[in-house]
């Protein structure tokens, strides 16, 4: 694959392989603008002469959706009369180039990113790389096709209502929808500017996380940009013990075929086999909110972004796009406030859900329509594709779509994991493990899906902390760790020689003769967060050096005098064992 080729043989080998693949693929509806081959190779040689220099995307060819500015190339948003030549790279592209990636060109999309099917373009429909009879998914159609076909090591799309996830599900690849504002959208033609994000397509969750990490960060010139919490990362996450996963009740599930339903059930079973604690919940309020995206304030927001085109050049628009955008002109401001209040109310429900659960698992789409089926009902089929995606942007959530299998007709099916804002590391860790467990090939290749890389230790600027009580994953005080940017590294145990005592709602660990090995978890905490976390820890607890089986580590310890008379629960092996004994 291109990532491995760039790493082993260098940027020029990867660039030549990508250029050869473009010619072999021979889809005239895929690229709208290509960087000339000689310029691609010249950039590859420049990178090779400089060497990796620690650049995470060194020598990896990529493409971008043609609603994102790349210096010197036209931006059309799939509308010829809208076209202009970009004077500068959008910040997201500039950051990817700085990270060593090589731009191949710009690819097709549903016009003005209005659609989830990928056929609303005057330039034609990019071929679905898995099944040419099916829609490619939109609006980031070309972005998904290029990655699935092996042309690009990764690609950028945009996601307003699922455009960074639905095409991934339809083409057996990964689609990462980041948190709002995490990646600047300056230099991106807006759809609904308040909820637009730049998304990532890749063959694996780890690749998508690496790309996101390279381009994330605030932009002082972008009013919708925002900084991530201290210590945020997309890479380096790990599968936490007792992962709490919500899944929709049967009444909230919609599938096109029995195979779609069976593959979702199988994916949930794989999550449980990974140790997840699964619970069915109602997502009816989320699905109700999702319908407002196509029939409320956000239609008007789309129209606002393109008002001049709608009012002065309507004949330049794709017929379906024109119908949608002209509909925004009749929306009333008073109704918009109903929509905004509905979002606020539903966000309360969302926040409550993610205090109980780490993730929500949903189908990526009810099923995949064929081109023939879409032609018969273009708007209804498109809306159906967004059943499980539309609410994510409105509720300020992050999401990752991964492949989950193939139906009996060999058409792909995906599952999407959803988390709160800035949960990308957890999404990618769980999603990568789930993807590997499905035993699928990558995109259109014969390459098997690799396991997620093992979580490394604490990174620069982080401190490893051994947690042994309610601060562990899934327990009541874990939010004190995660809110400070903490990320799970691994389960671990102390050396023999420790005793554990119950101090009400938390344990006290002391080193003592005749002690035993106590289980716990190691979390990486931003160095700046250690003080604020310690300030929340009551006496007689504090931090000190704990000797683990893996070596010494900062951890929770209690003063010996503070545990006198407290129940000794060492025999239970740890706090989780003690809690289980109390049920």
According to the model, what pLDDT value does residue 211 have? 98
pLDDT digit string (tens) for 493-511? 999 999 999 999 999 999 9
Domain around 529 = 462-581
Q: Which residues are catalytic?
A: 65, 139, 163
Residue 23 included in any domain: yes
278's enclosing H/E stretch is: strand 277-281
Total of domains in the chain: 2
Average pLDDT over residues 97-119: 97
Q: From CA 526, how far away is CA 537, in angstroms rounded?
A: 17
Q: Which two tokens stand for residue 236?
A: 């380096």
Which three-class secondary structure state does DSSP give residue 404? strand
Does residue 459 carry a pLDDT above 90? no
According to the model, what pLDDT value does residue 194 have? 96
As a three-state string, the secondary structure of 442-498 is: CCCCCCECCCCCCCCCCCCCEEEEEECCCCCCCCCCHHHHHCCCCEEEEEEEECCCE
Is there a contact between 388 and 363 (Cβ–Cβ < 8 Å)?
yes
**Same-domain status, 164 and 17:** yes
Residue 451 included in any domain: no
- 240 φ, ψ to 5°? -80, 150
pLDDT digit string (tens) for 188-244? 999 999 999 999 999 999 999 999 999 999 999 999 999 998 889 999 888 888 899
Average pLDDT over residues 139-159: 98
Q: How many CB atoms lie within 10 A of CB 460?
A: 5
**Same-domain status, 425 and 493:** no
**Same-domain status, 272 and 143:** yes
What's the mean per-residue pLDDT of the chain? 96
Q: How many CB atoms lie within 10 A of CB 455?
A: 18
Residue 521 included in any domain: yes
**Same-domain status, 488 and 577:** yes
**Same-domain status, 385 and 528:** no
**Low-confidence winner among 15-19, 36-40, 361-365, 477-481 (lowest mean pLDDT):** 477-481
According to the model, what pLDDT value does residue 55 have? 98
Reported in sequence order, the residue ranges of 303-445 that DSSP labels E, i.e. its strands, are 359-363, 397-406, 412-420
Q: From CA 370, how far away is CA 128, in angstroms rounded?
A: 10
According to the model, what pLDDT value does residue 559 have? 96
Instruction: Kindly calculate the radius of gyration of the chain based on its CA atoms and give it in whole angstroms.
Output: 25
Residue 577 included in any domain: yes
Confidence bin at 127 (pLDDT 50/70/90):
very high
**Same-domain status, 399 and 546:** no
pLDDT digit string (tens) for 244-300? 999 999 999 999 999 999 999 999 999 999 999 999 999 999 999 999 988 889 889
Domain boundary among 437, 452, 477: 437
pLDDT digit string (tens) for 384-435? 999 999 999 999 999 999 999 999 999 999 999 999 999 999 999 999 999 9
Distances in Å between the Cα of 404 and the Cα atoms of 81, 254, 276, 437, 449 are 40, 17, 17, 9, 11
Residue 206 included in any domain: yes
Strand partners, 9: none
Average pLDDT over residues 35-51: 98
Please state the pTM of the whole predicted model.
Answer: 0.93
**Same-domain status, 427 and 476:** no
Residue 450 included in any domain: no
Average pLDDT over residues 31-44: 98
**Same-domain status, 100 and 28:** yes
Confidence bin at 372 (pLDDT 50/70/90):
very high
**Same-domain status, 432 and 472:** no
Residue showing tokens 């990486």: 524
CATH code of residue 181: 3.90.1300.10
- 525 φ, ψ to 5°? -115, 135
Residue 449 included in any domain: no
**Same-domain status, 475 and 427:** no
Is there a contact between 509 and 500 (Cβ–Cβ < 8 Å)?
yes
Average pLDDT over residues 169-195: 97
Residue 337 included in any domain: yes
Residue showing tokens 């429909």: 125
According to the model, what pLDDT value does residue 456 have? 76
Does residue 534 carry a pLDDT above 90? yes
CATH code of residue 561: 3.10.490.10
**Same-domain status, 131 and 222:** yes
According to the model, what pLDDT value does residue 415 have? 98
According to the model, what pLDDT value does residue 87 have? 98
**Same-domain status, 75 and 219:** yes
Average pLDDT over residues 329-334: 89
Is there a contact between 170 and 141 (Cβ–Cβ < 8 Å)?
no
């Amino acid at each position: 694959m291109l990532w491995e080729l760039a790493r082993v043989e260098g940027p020029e080998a990867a660039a030549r392989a990508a250029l050869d693949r473009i010619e072999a693929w021979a889809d005239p509806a895929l690229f709208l603008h290509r960087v000339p081959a000689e310029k691609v190779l010249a950039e590859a040689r420049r990178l090779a002469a400089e060497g990796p220099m620690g650049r995470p995307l060194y020598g990896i060819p990529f493409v971008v959706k043609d609603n994102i500015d790349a210096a010197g190339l036209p931006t059309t948003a799939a509308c010829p009369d809208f076209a202009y030549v970009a004077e500068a790279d959008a910040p997201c592209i500039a950051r990817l180039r700085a990270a060593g990636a090589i731009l191949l060109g710009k690819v097709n999309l549903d016009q003005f990113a209005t659609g989830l099917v990928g056929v609303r373009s005057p330039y034609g429909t990019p071929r679905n790389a898995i099944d040419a009879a099916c829609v490619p998914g939109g609006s980031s159609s070309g972005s998904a096709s290029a990655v699935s076909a092996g042309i690009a090591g990764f690609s950028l799309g945009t996601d307003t209502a699922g455009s960074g996830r639905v095409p991934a599900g339809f083409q057996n690849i990964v689609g990462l929808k980041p948190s709002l504002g995490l990646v600047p959208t300056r230099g991106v033609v807006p759809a609904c500017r308040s909820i637009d994000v730049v998304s990532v397509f890749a063959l694996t969750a780890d690749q998508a996380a690496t790309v996101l990490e390279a381009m994330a960060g605030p932009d002082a010139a972008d009013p919708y940009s925002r900084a991530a919490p201290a210590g945020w990362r997309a890479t380096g996450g790990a599968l936490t013990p007792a992962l709490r996963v919500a899944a929709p009740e049967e009444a909230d599930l919609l599938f096109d075929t029995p195979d779609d339903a069976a593959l979702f059930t199988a994916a949930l079973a794989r999550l449980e086999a990974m140790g997840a604690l699964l619970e069915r919940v109602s997502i009816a309020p989320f699905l109700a909110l999702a319908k407002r995206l196509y029939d409320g304030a956000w239609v008007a927001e789309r129209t606002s972004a393109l008002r001049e085109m709608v009012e002065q050049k309507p004949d330049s628009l794709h017929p379906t796009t024109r119908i949608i955008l002209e509909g925004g002109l009749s929306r009333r401001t008073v109704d918009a406030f109903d929509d905004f209040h509905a979002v606020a109310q539903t966000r309360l429900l969302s926040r409550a859900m993610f205090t109980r659960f780490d993730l929500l698992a949903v189908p990526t789409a009810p099923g995949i329509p064929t081109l023939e089926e879409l032609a018969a009902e273009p708007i209804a089929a498109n809306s159906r594709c967004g059943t499980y995606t539309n609410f994510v942007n409105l509720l300020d959530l992050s999401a990752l779509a991964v492949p989950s299998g193939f139906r009996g007709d060999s058409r792909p099916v995906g599952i999407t994991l959803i988390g709160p804002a800035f949960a990308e590391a957890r999404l990618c860790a769980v999603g990568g493990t789930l993807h590997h467990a499905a035993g699928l090939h990558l995109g259109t290749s014969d390459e098997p899906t690799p396991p997620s890389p093992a979580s490394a230790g604490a990174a620069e600027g982080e401190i490893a902390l051994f947690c042994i009580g309610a601060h562990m994953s899934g327990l009541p005080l874990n939010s004190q760790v995660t809110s400070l940017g903490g990320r799970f590294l691994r389960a671990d145990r102390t050396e023999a020689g420790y005793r554990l005592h119950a101090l009400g709602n938390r344990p006290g660990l002391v080193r003592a003769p005749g002690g035993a090995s106590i289980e716990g978890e190691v979390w990486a905490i931003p160095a700046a967060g250690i003080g604020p976390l310690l300030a929340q820890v009551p006496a007689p607890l504090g931090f000190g050096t704990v000797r683990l089986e893996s070596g010494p580590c900062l951890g929770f310890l209690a003063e010996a005098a503070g545990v006198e008379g407290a129940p000794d629960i060492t025999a239970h092996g740890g706090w989780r064992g003690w809690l289980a004994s109390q049920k």
